[in-house]
Structure 1
Amino acid sequence: MEIRNLGSSGLKISAIAYGNWLTHGSQVEEDAAIACVRRALDEGITTFDTADVYANTRAETVLGKALAGERRAGLEIFTKVYWPTGPGKHNDHGLSRKHIMESIDGSLSRLGTDYVDLYQAHRYDHETPLEETMEAFADVVRSGKAHYIGVSEWTAEQIRAGHALARELRIPFVSNQPQYSMLWRVIEDEVVPASQELGIGQIVWSPIAQGVLTGKYLPGEQPPAGSRATDEKGGSDMISRWLRDDVLERVQQLRPIAEEAGLSLAQLAVAWVLQNDNVSAAIIGASRPEQVTENVKAAGVLLDAGAMAAIDEILTPVVERDPRRTVSPERREF
């Protein structure tokens, strides 16, 4: 497993991180989820990403059980705060001081740990002053409940403002967690340059575009039974944007490139993401242990310039690049 620094910080993480967004506590039974985490550990993954909102806190609980008994100093555990949890009442989400301070304690209890390595703002909160949010994060760090802070799906402007406050408060703001894949490149024009300037690394989610870049979805055909596209617990909503024949046809055109590199399409997608200089880690998920084993093979792979150019030529007509697609809700829905 390749090990990288998270941004310009001294924190070292595995280039492949294991995440349990759409699986643990919902799509996958607990025994299977734990088996996936154990396989991740066997494959050299040390970085695990979750959030309190995943399966309404159940994903954190499952991850905590799966990691129980491991040497804590040998792991990097990340979680997030913002989206509604519990009954979803008016103070059960957002980035207010109240919600942050209550949420970190809940996350630590479910994860079975005294601290997380990285605590992330899951979206930008337009209804809470940024100063209040960053001061609460500073207190979380100073209390020893988190070592570093980060954000997810913030715009370049929001990242700059948050980083400036973090510098004033003397707390380490080290990461952004955006969606990023061969098909979804909205961070490239604004977020990546700002992050590189500030020493912030990207921990990217959905590098395989919710499974579309595995090539298992074929143009003109129904999605395979049991695939994410048929999941009614949230998976089908996210993948639907890519289930167009023009996209699926172009994904199939990537097969010769993957074969030439000795990779599966999924491995090609993860390797492509990791080749961006600002990407510190790519988050993979899994419903079966063998999926973990397959995807970790992308770590350390270097695609040559010809392969990178060919990928761009094939996918450019269907790639989403608009930086305005990085957004957070203007108002919280109660």
Structure 2
Amino acid sequence: MDLRQLGNSNVSVSPVTFGAWAIGGWMWGGSEEQDSIAAIQASIDAGVTSIDTAAIYGQGHSEELVAKAIKGRRDKVQILTKCGMRWDDARGSDPWATLNNQGRAITVTRNSKADSIAHECEQSLRRLGVDVIDVYQIHWPDLTTPIDESIEAMYKLQKAGKVRAIGVSNYNLKQISTADSWLKEHGSVLASHQPPYSVINRGIEKEILAYCRQMNVGIVCYSPMERGLLTGKYGPDHKFPAGDHRNNYKAFKPDVRKSVAAALAQVKSIADRHKASFAQLIVNWTFSEPGITAALVGARNAEQAVHNAGAMAFRLSDVERQQIRAAFSPAAELMGGDGAPARPGAQT
């Protein structure tokens, strides 16, 4: 499948984009470095040329792994990363106590102050081993910093040639509109928004999706498979180890799991028709929805990466897409449908 232009920017991305949160190890129980590198390289070879990471993922570790994986392949990939979540600066909003990969206590804050964004960009460029970031995104809104200040800082990075396109993540409609308007007034564009979205988490359809369609802001959504739930691997009785963030995530409540299992049974014939797994079917449905540019999908090894790329190998009909939507509507109702991102512990 061809690359898709991200909004009105000069960056295009693959419909399946490699999500590099899990390979950073943080909150996912760790991963083998060579497996992670192999997963990214296999993705690139299979046509998944866009890689989404963030400074906070493993406190820089994910970006460092991405650098190793793309060495000698920079011209074949699009790098998306994020700023705005600091573990080494006490300023900002929503302080959150957690543990790093080594088990040491850290406090994470949402920090989108101008000087912090400039500092983070330099650190990400260094860790990634690149001269320019294709899409630089503000990870979470910082309620202690005016959006205009944050967006102006991103704009300056773009004018300096360090960033090709500007994006935001986990913003509400008013915040997206403010960022979009500021950039247009200054001759630039908001390339993308990164919200949670899946066949059972449709909250952005109420307002945000319509706005982004109208204003041509690309959407690169995260959690299209709801942390693996929609793959069919985790039935109602599956137990996760202590410390796994899915233990506290609403999609894994017993009633939602039962509803998802019933929905998967209903759509099995569609998956079989396309010789696709449940995971491939769900990801294809997600990036096929009007207004969705790409869906983030993670992989821990090369086999998973190649499998994920298979989601781009077929096309769902409009009737099939509606059938899939209808099958999962009961689960979507149980989820609440507000689409609001959870606190950082459950984020992308």
Which residue of 1 is the match for residue 16 of structure 2? 16
Q: Determine the structure 1 residue equivalent to 2:179.
A: 162
Mapping of residues 175-254 of structure 1, within 5 Å: 175-219=192-236, 221-223=237-239, 229-230=240-241, 232-238=243-249, 241=252, 243=254, 244-254=257-267
Structure 1, gaps ≥5 residues long: 224-228, 330-334
CA RMSD of aligned residues (A): 2.3
Q: What are the residue-to-residue correspondences of 1:1-334 with 2, within 5 Å?
A: 1-26=1-26, 27-70=30-73, 72-86=74-88, 88-90=89-91, 93-219=110-236, 221-223=237-239, 229-230=240-241, 232-238=243-249, 241=252, 243=254, 244-319=257-332, 324-326=338-340
> Which residue identity does 1:261 align to in structure 2?
H
Most deviating of 22-31 and 285-294: 22-31
Query: What is the distance in 2 between the residues matched to 1:284 and 1:35?
Result: 15
> C-alpha distance in 2, partners of 1:125/1:218?
37
**Equivalent pairs, count:** 322
Shift of 1:171: 2.5
Task: Specify the SS of the correspondent of 2:69.
Answer: helix
Aligned amino acid, residue 58 of structure 1: H
Q: Is the 8 A contact 2:17 2:48 kept in 1?
A: yes
Equivalent residue of 1:118, what SS?
strand
How far did residue 327 of structure 1 move?
5.1
Q: Secondary structure at the match of 1:187?
A: helix
Q: Distance in 1 between matches of 2:253 and 2:277?
A: 19
Q: Distance in 1 between matches of 2:302 and 2:60?
A: 22
**Distance change in 2, residues 1:136/1:194 (3 Å):** same
Tell me the CA shift for residue 34 of structure 1: 0.6
Question: Secondary structure at 1:259's aligned position in 2?
Answer: helix
Deviation string 1:146-181 (CA, Å, 9 cap, x unpaired) is 011001121222111110001122223110111111
Give 1:326's aligned amino acid. A
Between the aligned partners of 2:246 and 2:71, the Cα distance in structure 1 is: 28
Q: Which runs of 5+ in 2 are unaligned?
A: 93-108, 344-348
Moved more, 236-245 or 13-22: 236-245
Identity %: 30
After TM superposition, give the deviation of residue 294 of structure 1 in Å.
1.1
Contact 1:60 1:107 in 2 (8 A): yes
Contact 2:64 2:128 in 1 (8 A): yes
Aligned partners of 2:221 and 2:242: how far apart in 1? 23
Instruction: With the length of structure 1 as denominator, give the TM-score of the two structures.
Output: 0.89
- Give how far 1:129 is off: 1.0
Could you say what secondary structure the match of 1:232 adopts?
coil
CA contact (8 A) 1:14 1:281 kept: yes
In 1, Cα distance between the equivalents of 2:78 and 2:253?
32
TM-score (norm 2): 0.86
Distance 1:303 1:295 in 2: 16
The answer to whether the 8 A contact 2:24-2:31 is kept is yes
Looking at structure 1, the residues matched to 337 and 156 of structure 2 have their Cα atoms a distance apart, in angstroms, of: 32
**Preserved contact between residue 2 and residue 14 of structure 2 (Cα < 8 Å):** yes
Q: Distance in 2 between matches of 1:322 and 1:159?
A: 22
The 10-residue stretch of structure 1 (116-125 or 306-315) with the greater mean CA deviation from structure 2: 306-315
CA distance in 1 between partners of 2:242 and 2:291 (Å): 32
**Which sits farther off after the overlay, 31-40 or 234-243?**
234-243
Q: Cα–Cα, structure 1 residues 73 and 271, in superposed 2: closer, same or farther, change >3 Å? A: same
How far apart are the structure 2 equivalents of 1:190 and 1:179?
A: 14
Q: Structure 1 residues 230 and 256 mapped into 2: Cα distance closer, same or farther (>3 Å)?
A: farther
Give CA deviations for 1:295-321 in whole Å, capped at 9, x if unaligned.
111115221233223222221111158
Mapped to 2, the partners of 1:145 and 1:128 lie a distance apart of: 22
